[in-house]
C-alpha cells in the first residue's frame, strides 16, 4: 500500500481553515499521481499544487525578502540518491519543477540565483510574478515593527531590540512511498519574511530540509538556519534504519527544541510507517494511505 504525507509549514498558523483546505487539495492531487505514476510524481504534484495556493509560503504567495522580492528555495530527492535543488530563484511559478529539471537534466545538484533562473528559462519555464499584495502588506508591517523573526541582528539595526517570533513560517513539503518501495521527498519555500536578499535556507539543501535514502525520507520546516546547523532531515533518515519513523521524529523534534531549533518534520520510513512531529505551536499537515485521509 503506498503512502503520502505533506506539510504546509510549522509555526503559528493564523488561517487554519484555509490551510486545511489547501492541504486537502494537495493531498488529493498527490494521491492521484502516486497511484498512477509513483512517488516522484506524487510529491511534485502535491508541492506544485501548494505552490499555486497563496495561503502557503512558497511559489505564488511566497514571503518577501527585505527588498520586497520573492526568492524561492526548493528541492527534490529520491531514495536512490537522485537530488535536484534551486536556491534564491525568482520569477517562476513552480520552483519544485525547476528543481526536478536540475535533477534530471544536469550534472549538478543545486543551481542558485541568476544561473537557476537562466536554466529555468532554457527549460521553458515562463515568466511569473509570485508576489501577492498580502505578503507586501505583511512585509511593510514587519519593517515598521522592526521585529524580523529570526533576524535579530537586522531587527536590532531597525529597532535596537531583538524579539524572534515563529509566525512567519509556511514552507511546504511532501514525502511519498510507492508500491515499488521508492521514497520521494520535495520541499519548497519563499524562506523567512524580511530575509536579506541572497539568503538561502534549509529547504533546498541536501540533508537539511530535504533528505531521502533507503532508510526513509524526510521534509523539514521551521527556522532554516537552525535546521541547517543540525542537518535535521539527514539525521532523521539515518535513525530510521533501526527505529520506526514516529519514534525518530518525535525524539528529534524534542532534541531540536533543546538546541534552539523551532521546527516541524514529516517522514516515511523504509517499512512504510508515516510520521510527523513539531516543537512549534502548530503545524499544518495531512496524510493518506488510500484507506483513510487525516488532515490537521
Ligand atoms: N525553513 C524555511 C526557511 O528557513 C522556512 C519555513 O519552514 O517556513 O527558509
Lookup: cell for 185? 521527498
Q: Is 264 in the pocket of ligand 1 (CB under 6 A)?
A: no
Return d(Cα 49, Cα 237) in angstroms, integer.
Answer: 26
pTM above 0.75, yes or no: yes
Please tell me the predicted confidence (pLDDT) of residue 160: 47
Contact between residue 230 and residue 254 where contact means Cβ atoms under 8 Å apart? no
pLDDT tens column, 91-111 = 999 999 999 999 999 999 999
- The answer to whether the CB of 85 is under 6 A from ligand 1 is no
Joined grid coordinates for residue 117: 533562473
Q: What is the mean pLDDT of the chain?
A: 93
Averaged pLDDT for residues 255-262: 97
What is residue 132's predicted lDDT score, i.e. its pLDDT? 96
Residue 72 CA to residue 120 CA, distance in Å, equals 13
pLDDT of residue 15: 85
- CA distance linking residue 186 with residue 58, whole number of Å: 12
Q: What is the CATH number of the domain that holds 59?
A: 3.60.20.30
Residue 154 — pLDDT band, cuts 50, 70, 90? low
Q: pLDDT category, 11, cuts 50, 70, 90?
A: confident
- Please give the positions annotated as active site: 171
Cell numbers 510524481 correspond to: 41
Q: Is 293 exposed, middle or buried (0-12, 13-18, 19+ CB in 10 A)?
A: middle
pLDDT in tens, 43-89: 999 999 999 999 999 999 999 999 999 999 999 999 999 999 999 99
pLDDT over 70 (residue 162) = no
Q: Do 139 and 194 contact (CB within 8 A), yes or no?
A: yes
* pLDDT above 70: residue 149: no
Phi then psi dihedrals of residue 194, to 5 deg? 80, 10
Distances (CA, A) of 129 to 55, 135, 144: 16, 13, 25
For 246, residues 6+ apart whose C-beta sits below 8 A from its C-beta are: 273, 275, 277
Q: Is the CB of residue 189 below 6 angstroms from any atom belonging to ligand 1? A: yes
- State in Å: Cα 203 to ligand 1 middle: 7
**Ligand 1 contact via 203 beta carbon (within 6 Å):** yes
Cell of 19: 490551510
Q: What percent of the chain has pLDDT over 70?
A: 94
Q: What span, in angstroms and rounded, lies between the C-alpha atoms of 105 and 103?
A: 6
Residue nearest (by alpha carbon) to ligand 1 atom 9: 191
254 φ, ψ (degrees, to nearest 5) = -65, -45
Distance 1 CA to ligand 1 centre (A): 31
Ligand 1: residue whose CA is nearest its atom 4: 224
Q: Is the CB of 57 under 6 A from ligand 1?
A: yes
pLDDT tens digits, 279-296? 999 999 999 998 899 999
- The strand pair at 263-269 and 274-278 is best described as antiparallel
pLDDT band per the 50, 70, 90 thresholds, residue 147: confident
- Which atom of ligand 1 is nearest the CA belonging to 227? 1
- DSSP classification of residue 126: P
The gap from C-alpha 67 to its chain's centroid, in whole angstroms, comes to 22
Residue whose C-alpha cell reads 531514495 in the numeric block: 79
In the chain, the number of structural domains is 1
| Residues of the domain holding 231 | 3-295
Amino acid at each position: 500500500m503506498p503512502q503520502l504525507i505533506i506539510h504546509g509549514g510549522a509555526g503559528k498558523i493564523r488561517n487554519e481553515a484555509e490551510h486545511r483546505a489547501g492541504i486537502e487539495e494537495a493531498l488529493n492531487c498527490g494521491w492521484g499521481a502516486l497511484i498512477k505514476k509513483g512517488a516522484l510524481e506524487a510529491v511534485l504534484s502535491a508541492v506544485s499544487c501548494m505552490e499555486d495556493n497563496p495561503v502557503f509560503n512558497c511559489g505564488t504567495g511566497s514571503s518577501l525578502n527585505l527588498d520586497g522580492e520573492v526568492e524561492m528555495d526548493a528541492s527534490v530527492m529520491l531514495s536512490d540518491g537522485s537530488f535536484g535543488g534551486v536556491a534564491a530563484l525568482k520569477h517562476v511559478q513552480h520552483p519544485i519543477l525547476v528543481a526536478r529539471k536540475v535533477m534530471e537534466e544536469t550534472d549538478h545538484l543545486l543551481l542558485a540565483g541568476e544561473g537557476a533562473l537562466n536554466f529555468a528559462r532554457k527549460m521553458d519555464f515562463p515568466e511569473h510574478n509570485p508576489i501577492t499584495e498580502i505578503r507586501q502588506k505583511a512585509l511593510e508591517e514587519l519593517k515598521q515593527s522592526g521585529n524580523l523573526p529570526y533576524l535579530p541582528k537586522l531587527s536590532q539595526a531597525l529597532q535596537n531590540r531583538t524579539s524572534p517570533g515563529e509566525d512567519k513560517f509556511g514552507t511546504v513539503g511532501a514525502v511519498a512511498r510507492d508500491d515499488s518501495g521508492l521514497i520521494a521527498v520535495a520541499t519548497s519555500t519563499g524562506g523567512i519574511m524580511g530575509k536579506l536578499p541572497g539568503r538561502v535556507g534549509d529547504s533546498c539543501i541536501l540533508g537539511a530540509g530535504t533528505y531521502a535514502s533507503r532508510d526513509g525520507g524526510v521534509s523539514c520546516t521551521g527556522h532554516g538556519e537552525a535546521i541547517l546547523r543540525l542537518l535535521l532531515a539527514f539525521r532523521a533518515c539515518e535513525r530510521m534504519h533501526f527505529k520506526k519513523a514516529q519514534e525518530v521524529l518525535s525524539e528529534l523534534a524534542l532534541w531540536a527544541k533543546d538546541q534552539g531549533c523551532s521546527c516541524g518534520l514529516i517522514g516515511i520510513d523504509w517499512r512504510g510507517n508515516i510520521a510527523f512531529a513539531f516543537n512549534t505551536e502548530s503545524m499544518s499537515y495531512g496524510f493518506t494511505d488510500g484507506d483513510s485521509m487525516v488532515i490537521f
